[in-house]
Amino acid sequence: MRVTLLGTGAADGWPNPWCSCRSCSDARTNGVTRRQTSVLVDGGVLLDLSPALPPDGLSLAGVHTVLITHSHPDHCAPFGLLWRHWARPDDPLTIVGPADALETCRPWLAPDAPVELVVAEPGRPLRRRDYEVRVLPAEHEIPAVLYDLTSPGGGRLLYATDTGPLPEAAVEAVRGASFDVVLLEQTFGEKLDHGTCHLDLATFPVQVDRLRAVGAVTEDTAVVAVHLSHHNPPAGVLAGRLAAHGARLLPDGAELQVGA
Ligand SMILES: [Zn+2]
Ligand SMILES: [Zn+2]
């Protein structure tokens, strides 16, 4: 399994283009841009439909399946489906997501497009091109899901954004999973009074511990923090805070090769 991080930022990216706080200024000084969170697996499975263009040189031409977590516009930006239509109108595509996310996509598809829309329901597994997709519940303001994806070539990934503290059912569903990669959101950093269904530097480590306790995260799991906003400390500080909990900070465009 080849995991390419297309974006690791929160809804507004990092730096937020309108902001001049310490974290945004630090990112600008270091030339680090974090796009809205989205991930490409094996060049063929796209997790979330970001409003951002992929990092330089990365192609989506091989994508056959799109897994959308929810309909918030940083995760479900269907304008991108029109870009695809202009380039490859005849190639089949499967889009999986909560029902309202699929309805957001539908007006952007040509009436006769070979695009299949599949409703994601927690507990109902899917199989596409020998990828095993397990849908898990999220804790979010609107209907939202997390994805547990196993590649036919080996390698298993958990994509967990956007969510507050994980629902017990989600943790139970990944008992013994021994993921190769866990991409877990950590939106709010040091801002702990956000009152939203997201994680921060206080709640993120607790979720990692819960996943570790059920054998979903092991010593060999690469735990990567994603959906990062400028409420986080500058990257140098953040990397240390995450490392203390066995998690990593990676830039947009980073690639992880796991499994066979
Ligand atoms: Zn989001
Ligand atoms: Zn959201």
Cα separation, 222 vs 46, in Å, equals 19
Task: State in Å: Cα 186 to ligand 1 middle.
Answer: 10
pLDDT tops 80 at residue 260: no
Domain map (residue ranges) of the chain: 2-251
pLDDT above 80: residue 9: yes
d(CA 71, CA 69): 7
Q: Cα of 260 to ligand 2 centre, how many Å? A: 33
Question: What are the tens digits of pLDDT across the range 98-107?
Answer: 999 999 999 9
Q: pLDDT band for 232, please (50, 70, 90 cuts).
A: very high
Distance from the alpha carbon of residue 242 to the mean position of ligand 1, in angstroms: 20
Residues in the 5 Å CB sphere of ion ligand 1: 11, 74, 162
- Measure 228 CA to ligand 1 centroid, in angstroms: 9
Ligand nearest to the CA of 13: 1
- b/e string for 204-232 if b means 16 or more Cβ within 10 A? bbebbebbbeeebbeeebbbbbbbbbbbb
Going from the Cα of 189 to the center of ligand 1, the distance in angstroms, rounded, reads 14
| Alpha-carbon distance values, 200 to 30, 103, 227 (Å) | 23, 31, 10
pLDDT of residue 57: 87
Instruction: Calculate mean pLDDT across residues 137-143.
Output: 97
Ligand nearest to the CA of 8: 1
State pLDDT tens for residues 57-115. 899 999 999 999 999 999 999 999 999 999 999 999 999 999 999 999 999 999 999 99
- Residue 259, pLDDT score: 82
Q: How far is the CA of 70 from the centre of ligand 2 (A)?
A: 7
Annotate 196-242 with DSSP letters as a single string: SSS--TTHHHHHHHHHHHTTSS-TT-EEEEESB-TTSPPHHHHHHHH
Q: How many CA atoms lie within 13 A of 139 on its CB side?
A: 16
Distance 59 CA to ligand 1 centre (A): 22
- How many whole angstroms from 200 Cα to the centroid of ligand 1? 13
DSSP string over 17-65: TT--SHHHHHHHHTT--BPBPEEEETTTEEESB-SSPPSTT---TT--E
Dist. CA 97 → ligand 2 center (Å) = 13
How far is ligand 1, taken at its centre, from the CA of residue 244, in Å? 25
Residues 157 and 180: their CA atoms lie apart, in Å, by: 6
127 three-class SS? strand
What is the share, in percent, of the chain residues with pLDDT greater than 70? 100
Query: The domain 2-251: what is its CATH number?
Result: 3.60.15.10
What ligand is nearest to the CA atom of residue 144? 2
